[in-house]
A and B are shown apart, each in its own frame.
Chain A
């Protein structure tokens, strides 16, 4: 698409993005909830979104599927109050719905497989019903305008203006960063166009390209995004990305995951941890009652020279001469 068409496309999406924003009041409610069994909290939602990402990555789905799934999830959660025990079902339904419209038929994992791998407690028919509910409440047909939509457009615009754009600005990297942000509920409050632009600017700063910076400003003016708003979200994005790539890794939740092994393997685990029946024999144990043996025991310190020839039957004297002499003088 040429630059002009791209800008036009940009405008169109900009005008539509408000339709696809989750209700702010709903999001705030989730953020303010403390750990509770009856309501979804921010921590709860974030953990679930990370699970959704795990599944996306595992099944080889695109980032597009993931972003759409999170969009559906947040919109639904902001609208309807659900119990935490149903969160799993809702999130996987959103993922499946997003995959159906984004992925090719042949790459689509069947619901049963999704449930099995995700170690979910509900059935495929539960999933089906939940999908219908979500689709109905959100009036979802097939598309949504998300931060990825904008990111994609921005990227194309940047490339159309710079010949070596491809080497400088990597769409994959931007997508990964977007994914990192979406794992925190606070970023669902941002307007997709603003969030995407913040990410773009962040990356442009990192690669230090003057040309790209100009393009970013151009886009900002075109969409009339305020400096204040952009600054706010840029700061938050920067903080999130630095947390994300910090060497302090979050402790993996592997305890929560089930490790099911076959019976044979389970039987043989830890079969070696048998307590030995024979008591330990300390080396060079000098027993009082055996002091008469001391002459021979002195010899045993000459073992090294003897036993160094492992496996040979040729023997020198068992008691090396020089040691025997030593003892006589002792």
Chain B
């Protein structure tokens, strides 16, 4: 009875059992949270250090380390009034460090590496706060932002410049940036704050590029994350970012493709299409798929068969996405591969074209405006036309949307010009089939009518109205 922190809207707002999201949106404000909870007690005191530019060059490396040490202190941003002076001091120190790393030479001693990694770890590695609302819908709701962003952002910025620095040596760094570090980094991708994920994306991208020894591990962990996402939780906020990184990796694959990568495509990337929140990362996913096919065209058949297997049956928004992705794939497909999958492919397109959802039908029909696809269809019109004909003809008569009917005309006209004799044959067969159906229908109706009359007569006879 008690509404203890319930996030569902009051029942008055429920229409047919569905909650009105618009109502929820109006109530929502930009929320912030942070998991850095300060231990209660004394305020933090940091002794202000001189600026790096104010000390002579030989002393700078040591000062650098001291500042790093100071930045390991973490502040509580949920309490907006505490330690304001010290927060500002840390912020300006971090700023200074960012600049220092960007322009300086000879500051990176061996000692610096563990201290840098330590400072970064202290700041960024944390248990992410649970989502404010139980029903956080990544597509509709505003994300919860990280409250300590003023510091966090600078830490990320600093780390990236550090990694990109000319003096950076992976052979030293790899002692500190190891598998454990990467694992914690990956967990952060679940942050709701998109700014943080964006930085993480760059960080991981650089690490992958520079640490060859970590590459296999990173790929494996990303696999795990995706598989958990698809088959267990359907929750992870960083799928798009990880896919973007994978895109740049796939782009760089050496040929011939290793078996591991092909497995990844079939066992991880294709099943990713089945997730409900596909719209959040579909662009990146489609890009990865197309990159794979550009690397190895022989993968086309399993990819398309996979998509057809997972074709959305009840979600029209997803269907439109699939159609978009399919068009991208067809844009780069080789004619020999096209011939292998054209039958099942066009059977599905034929179903899409007949969809009562006009956006799905429209998107499918628009394929005929793509010159390359048209040239492929032309070459194989004797196979494709019979598959498409019946539904096209039927929707030209039956579809509710006039714009769709107009598009169907374009498609039929294109087919007519492509293969006139086949078109005539199919028209004739279609017409005779329809006539036969009509005849059957009429016969059936007549039969029922006869039965009715018989019944009627019998009734009238038994009532003595008609003489027996």
Binding site for B on A (CB under 8 A): 50, 53-54, 57-58, 60, 116-117, 119, 172-173, 176, 179-180, 244-245, 249-254, 257-262, 264-265, 268-269, 271-274, 276-285, 289-290, 292-293, 296-297, 299-300, 303-304, 306-308, 310-311, 313, 318
A-B contact pairs, 29 of them (CB 8 A): A58-B409, A58-B413, A116-B406, A252-B414, A257-B413, A261-B366, A261-B407, A262-B359, A265-B363, A272-B290, A274-B287, A278-B205, A281-B205, A281-B209, A281-B249, A282-B254, A283-B254, A285-B252, A289-B169, A290-B212, A293-B212, A293-B213, A296-B212, A300-B212, A303-B215, A307-B216, A307-B219, A310-B223, A313-B224
The answer to whether A265 and B362 touch (CB under 8 A), given A54-B409, A278-B201, A310-B227, is yes
Q: Does B421 contact A (CB under 8 A)?
A: yes
Pairwise interchain contact A116-B402, C-beta atoms closer than 8 A:
yes
CA distance A293 to B174 in the complex (A): 10
How many A-B pairs with Cβ below 8 Å? 180
Pairwise interchain contact A300-B260, C-beta atoms closer than 8 A:
no
A305 to chain B, nearest CB (A): 10
Encode B181-213 as 1/0 by CB contact (under 8 A) with A. Answer: 000000000000000000001100100110011
The A-contacting residues of B in range 379-422, CB under 8 angstroms, are 381, 396-397, 402-403, 405-407, 409-410, 412-414, 416-421
CA distance A245 to B320 in the complex (A): 37
Partner of A297, one of B212, B358, B396: B212
Pairwise interchain contact B252-A249, C-beta atoms closer than 8 A:
no
Chain B residues with CB under 8 Å of A119's CB are 406
Chain A residues with CB under 8 Å of B320's CB are 265, 268
The A-contacting residues of B in range 342-368, CB under 8 angstroms, are 358-359, 362-363, 366, 368
Q: Does B378 contact A (CB under 8 A)?
A: yes
Pairwise interchain contact A176-B170, C-beta atoms closer than 8 A:
no
CA distance A50 to B412 in the complex (A): 13
Pairwise interchain contact B213-A300, C-beta atoms closer than 8 A:
yes
Partner of A244, one of B244, B414, B420: B420
The answer to whether A296 and B213 touch (CB under 8 A), given A54-B413, A176-B424, A244-B420, is yes
Q: Does B286 contact A (CB under 8 A)?
A: yes
Pairwise interchain contact B213-A297, C-beta atoms closer than 8 A:
yes
Q: Does B268 contact A (CB under 8 A)?
A: yes
Q: Does B283 contact A (CB under 8 A)?
A: yes
Chain B residues with CB under 8 Å of A117's CB are 405-406, 409
Chain B residues with CB under 8 Å of A292's CB are 171
Q: Does B339 contact A (CB under 8 A)?
A: no
Known contacts A281-B205, A281-B208, then 18 further A-B pairs from the complex at CB < 8 Å, ordered by chain A residue: A176-B424, A251-B417, A252-B414, A254-B368, A260-B403, A260-B407, A268-B324, A276-B287, A278-B205, A278-B245, A278-B248, A296-B213, A297-B212, A303-B215, A303-B260, A304-B260, A307-B260, A310-B223
B332 to chain A, nearest CB (A): 12
Pairwise interchain contact A245-B227, C-beta atoms closer than 8 A:
no
Pairwise interchain contact B201-A290, C-beta atoms closer than 8 A:
no
The answer to whether A276 and B369 touch (CB under 8 A), given A265-B362, A297-B212, A300-B215, is no
The answer to whether A58 and B412 touch (CB under 8 A), given A264-B359, A290-B212, A306-B216, is yes
Partner of A281, one of B252, B325, B381, B432: B252
Counting chain B residues whose Cβ lies within 8 A of the other chain, the interface size class is 35 or more
CA distance A299 to B217 in the complex (A): 12
The answer to whether A265 and B366 touch (CB under 8 A), given A272-B286, A297-B212, A307-B219, is yes
B374 to chain A, nearest CB (A): 7
Chain B residues with CB under 8 Å of A307's CB are 216, 219-220, 223, 260
Looking at A57, A260, A284, A308, the one whose CB has the most chain B CB atoms below 10 A away is: A57
Chain A residues with CB under 8 Å of B369's CB are 254, 259
Pairwise interchain contact A259-B410, C-beta atoms closer than 8 A:
yes
CA distance A180 to B244 in the complex (A): 54
CA distance A54 to B409 in the complex (A): 8
Q: Does B123 contact A (CB under 8 A)?
A: no
Chain B residues with CB under 8 Å of A310's CB are 220, 223, 227, 263-264, 267-268
Chain A residues with CB under 8 Å of B238's CB are none
A283 to chain B, nearest CB (A): 4
CA distance A281 to B207 in the complex (A): 11
A95 to chain B, nearest CB (A): 14
Q: Write the chain A residue with the least CB distance to B213.
A: A296
Q: Write the chain B residue with the least CB distance to A313.
A: B224
Q: Does B259 contact A (CB under 8 A)?
A: yes
The 9 closest A-B pairs by CB, nearest first: A296-B213, A282-B252, A278-B248, A280-B251, A176-B424, A252-B417, A303-B216, A252-B414, A245-B421
Q: Does B452 contact A (CB under 8 A)?
A: no
Pairwise interchain contact A283-B252, C-beta atoms closer than 8 A:
yes
Chain A residues with CB under 8 Å of B202's CB are 278
Pairwise interchain contact A262-B410, C-beta atoms closer than 8 A:
no
A260 to chain B, nearest CB (A): 6
Chain A residues with CB under 8 Å of B253's CB are 283
Pairwise interchain contact B268-A262, C-beta atoms closer than 8 A:
no
A242 to chain B, nearest CB (A): 11
Chain B residues with CB under 8 Å of A277's CB are 244
Pairwise interchain contact B419-A249, C-beta atoms closer than 8 A:
yes
Q: Does B428 contact A (CB under 8 A)?
A: yes
Pairwise interchain contact B287-A272, C-beta atoms closer than 8 A:
yes
Chain B residues with CB under 8 Å of A254's CB are 368-369, 374, 410, 413-414
Chain A residues with CB under 8 Å of B251's CB are 276, 280-281
Pairwise interchain contact A245-B417, C-beta atoms closer than 8 A:
no
Partner of A278, one of B244, B260, B325, B413: B244
The answer to whether A311 and B362 touch (CB under 8 A), given A57-B416, A249-B381, A299-B213, is no
Pairwise interchain contact A308-B378, C-beta atoms closer than 8 A:
no
Pairwise interchain contact A176-B428, C-beta atoms closer than 8 A:
yes
Pairwise interchain contact A280-B252, C-beta atoms closer than 8 A:
yes
Q: Does B92 contact A (CB under 8 A)?
A: no
CA distance A283 to B174 in the complex (A): 19
Chain B residues with CB under 8 Å of A257's CB are 410, 413-414
Q: Write the chain A residue with the least CB distance to B410.
A: A257
B320 to chain A, nearest CB (A): 7
CA distance A172 to B407 in the complex (A): 28
Partner of A308, one of B260, B324, B413: B260
Chain A residues with CB under 8 Å of B413's CB are 54, 58, 252-254, 257
Chain A residues with CB under 8 Å of B227's CB are 310-311
CA distance A54 to B406 in the complex (A): 12
CA distance A285 to B211 in the complex (A): 10
Looking at A119, A271, A280, the one whose CB has the most chain B CB atoms below 10 A away is: A280
Pairwise interchain contact B171-A293, C-beta atoms closer than 8 A:
yes
Looking at B170, B216, B290, B378, the one whose CB has the most chain A CB atoms below 10 A away is: B216
B231 to chain A, nearest CB (A): 9
CA distance A251 to B359 in the complex (A): 28
